[in-house]
Structure 1
């Protein structure tokens, strides 16, 4: 299996490519600048010589004056043997020449047609020359124009440029290798915070979920990553804690009915009994089995909520009518306990009737179970900023603030002293209620103060308003 290249390798290669491109580009610019410098330097030398010759040829010499003029030119150029001179007419007659150097006649004549001086280069034999061509118009109309060519040997320039180029060809690969080593070192240093995060993450195990990644000792670009990973570890630690508590709670809750069943069965089998006694044992076993069945059913439902509850179908529901039906259902139990039931407000929501009825039924039964004798249980419906707020309120013992967030935990049961019903259930009702409310895109919270306990549910309001 081929693994992708490491970040260090990628950054090193990128650094090498960038530095190589910069070095090559810089070498090309410097080479062009040096070459241009030599051209301008040669142009200046040739221009000065041409100006001298131009003054000498201001008046075209007679035939008998040419030897003296040739001698003057030779003396002028004798100090610099690299300089060459050629003067000829546009008709092709050579008037003066400082040496036997073979000038490119055709190119000189072509350049001599222009009005401005032209610089060009050519090779002859083993030498290379750079020349300047200028056309001179004599003052006398009956004399042909002159083409003056001054040239300089540039072999020493070419030798310098060759050495310069070879130096660059040697320097650039060495500089590239050094840049690669420097890039590798910089990448290793720059990525060291990632290795620190890796080491800290490797230390996180099921028994050490409290380990956290350093946020203050990593670069600013990695602070967000470290923070999000720490938040993820917080969620994992909390989920693992709840899972551990859930496992221990479920074992505890199921141990009691299983122990009761085992004890009853062992006692019944210890000796022969009458059919009536066996029926009593079986009836008691049915109660325990029914409790186990309901517990398992609730746990399966809550297990599904971990992956999200799907609502099979939705419809427009008049919430106040659903509340009225539930109050009628609990009216007999409330009358028996001396508790008054009432409701107020109207609203229309969209949801699944059975799921919402189960959630609201859990809230009402919980309120009845914890209400004081002769107390009241009220259901209030309000429309608040596009949300329907439903509050189930009962008077009874105040719940301590530290217990309020735990009311919706699975298998959590408050102080039995606050409940008038000894069979307080297994502590799954409010957890199921919360899951059902969340499935309808709602929220639920608990409040308790001054002998009043409220469960506040917020659900999205339907577009259809209730009829008056």
Structure 2
């Protein structure tokens, strides 16, 4: 069922609440009023019975004097009738004379008072035993009060109540609609701001201003979401631009070579040589595309890691073997120390460490040493890579782990391809998580270094030695004062 207008729903709830309250008040007032009138009638009848008893005691044995005084007492009240019965049920005295003892077949007793209706009229009665001063048996006295005026009053009161209830319900509905409309104005402003958002206006924020506390958290969360969307959109735009730039160079090379070869007729050997060159360029282009697909799958959680127990020293030694010839050509030594075991995906671990070594070899001067050290701290495993490369300027620290980002702009114009330090997939396999931190050179450090830290995923922040962890989106990295989590 499609939900209706929130203003209408609030108005209806307001109407229902007012109607229920008025009903409760009306029922309570009706019952209390009836009880009050019943008590007043019982009090009046009780006072008459006391006066009748007092007259019976003072009149002695003269029945005529007794009846005369009772007539004087009761005859002045047209709504009051009395019947005095002997023990055999015959009447001793009645006022008015035509009065008879009431039939209690349809009567009910409430608060000690008999109450019944007869032919559209309502009566209340009290009965008592009247002792005579003579030795005669006591009389049974019935005092009956006609309370039809009370019944008419309550009938009129009920009609007024239903009229007031209907009018109040309609008025409360109108007032509820106005109150709900006014109360939901901040929501309307939020809606207008959200509707005006586009890819070019993600930097706009909804001002908090004088908004209700109930909406303050919503607006704060919405503004935070806009900030995350803006950051993701900027990174996506940069990533798209970087992809285009990375692919432009090999495609441009292929086109240039092909145009040169086709410019004139050449020997078969020349065609074969250039086709081999084109194949090499195509293979490199295929590798770039495969890497980008891997990054996209990794960022969207489409790669399911297969956790196995790994010996990090063995992983480092294997990768040293892959880069041994490149390191020898550049006159760089590779050095490893320490050991630790973790549960992680072997392919992802190889990719992370391989990318770190590749970047280190690219920027380490000839004749220097790249040091990789492994430290097992019990609750976490730390892999530290240190090389004497150039210091990274502070303005680049926030982006060094972005995909394809390079500190040196000239590197974009060279034929070097890769995803940069950002090509570090999360090692969230089994119970371990991976963080990558760039630490500038400190007073006791010879060189700046990268530190990869792996520890159980149930730890929500980095150990104190690395500062305070700051969860972030799909990139891995940061600097000493704030590392981004890729988990």
Tell me if both proteins adopt one fold, taking TM over 0.5 as the criterion: yes
What is the alpha-carbon distance in structure 2 between the residues aligned to residue 409 and residue 369 of structure 1? 18
Matched residue, 1:428: 419
TM-score, scaled to structure 2:
0.85
Q: In the TM superposition, what are the counterparts of 1:234-383 in structure 2 within 5 Å?
A: 234-383=227-376
TM-score, scaled to structure 1:
0.88
Is the 2:386–2:449 contact (alpha carbons within 8 Å) kept by the matching residues of 1? yes
CA gap 1:425/1:158 in 2 versus in 1, 3 angstroms: same
CA gap 1:179/1:359 in 2 versus in 1, 3 angstroms: same
What is the alpha-carbon distance in structure 1 between the residues aligned to residue 202 and residue 375 of structure 2? 43
Q: In the TM superposition, what are the counterparts of 1:22-421 in structure 2 within 5 Å?
A: 22-58=21-57, 62=61, 65-99=62-96, 100-104=98-102, 118-136=112-130, 143-384=136-377, 386-415=379-408
Spell out, residue by residue over 1:107-158, the C-alpha distance to the aligned partner (whole angstroms, 9 max, x if none): 79999xxxxx941123444543211111245677x64332122222212212
CA gap 1:74/1:402 in 2 versus in 1, 3 angstroms: same
Query: Post-superposition shift, 1:392?
Result: 1.0
CA gap 1:354/1:95 in 2 versus in 1, 3 angstroms: same
Spell out, residue by residue over 1:410-452, the C-alpha distance to the aligned partner (whole angstroms, 9 max, x if none): 22112168x8x9967334142222x243566211122222662
Matched residue, 2:435: 443
1:457 aligns with 2:439: no
What is the alpha-carbon distance in structure 1 between the residues aligned to residue 232 and residue 119 of structure 2? 89
Query: Post-superposition shift, 1:284?
Result: 2.4
Query: Post-superposition shift, 1:52?
Result: 0.7
Is the 1:413–1:426 contact (alpha carbons within 8 Å) kept by the matching residues of 2? no
Larger displacement relative to structure 2 (381-390 or 295-304) = 381-390
Is the 1:59–1:138 contact (alpha carbons within 8 Å) kept by the matching residues of 2? no
Query: Post-superposition shift, 1:224?
Result: 1.4
CA gap 1:218/1:110 in 2 versus in 1, 3 angstroms: closer
CA gap 1:218/1:105 in 2 versus in 1, 3 angstroms: closer
CA gap 1:165/1:416 in 2 versus in 1, 3 angstroms: closer
CA gap 1:97/1:303 in 2 versus in 1, 3 angstroms: same
- Aligned CA RMSD, in angstroms, stands at 2.7
**Residue 440 of structure 2: SS of its match in structure 1?**
strand
What is the alpha-carbon distance in structure 2 between the residues aligned to residue 367 and residue 374 of structure 1? 13
**Residue 365 of structure 2: SS of its match in structure 1?**
coil
Matched residue, 2:6: 7
What is the alpha-carbon distance in structure 2 between the residues aligned to residue 323 and residue 283 of structure 1? 33
Query: Post-superposition shift, 1:86?
Result: 1.6
Query: Post-superposition shift, 1:172?
Result: 0.8
Query: Post-superposition shift, 1:216?
Result: 3.1
What is the alpha-carbon distance in structure 2 between the residues aligned to residue 122 and residue 265 of structure 1? 115
**Residue 395 of structure 1: SS of its match in structure 2?**
coil
Larger displacement relative to structure 2 (12-21 or 212-221) = 212-221
Matched residue, 1:466: none
Matched residue, 1:465: none
**Which ranges in structure 2 are unaligned for 5 or more consecutive residues?**
458-487
**Which ranges in structure 1 are unaligned for 5 or more consecutive residues?**
112-116, 463-468
What is the alpha-carbon distance in structure 2 between the residues aligned to residue 292 and residue 106 of structure 1? 108
**Residue 58 of structure 1: SS of its match in structure 2?**
helix
**Count of aligned positions:** 450
Spell out, residue by residue over 1:49-88, the C-alpha distance to the aligned partner (whole angstroms, 9 max, x if none): 11010112237964xx222222211112232222222222
Is the 2:26–2:161 contact (alpha carbons within 8 Å) kept by the matching residues of 1? yes
Is the 1:404–1:447 contact (alpha carbons within 8 Å) kept by the matching residues of 2? no
Q: Compare the two structures and name the one with the higher helix fraction.
A: 1
What is the alpha-carbon distance in structure 2 between the residues aligned to residue 108 and residue 73 of structure 1? 29
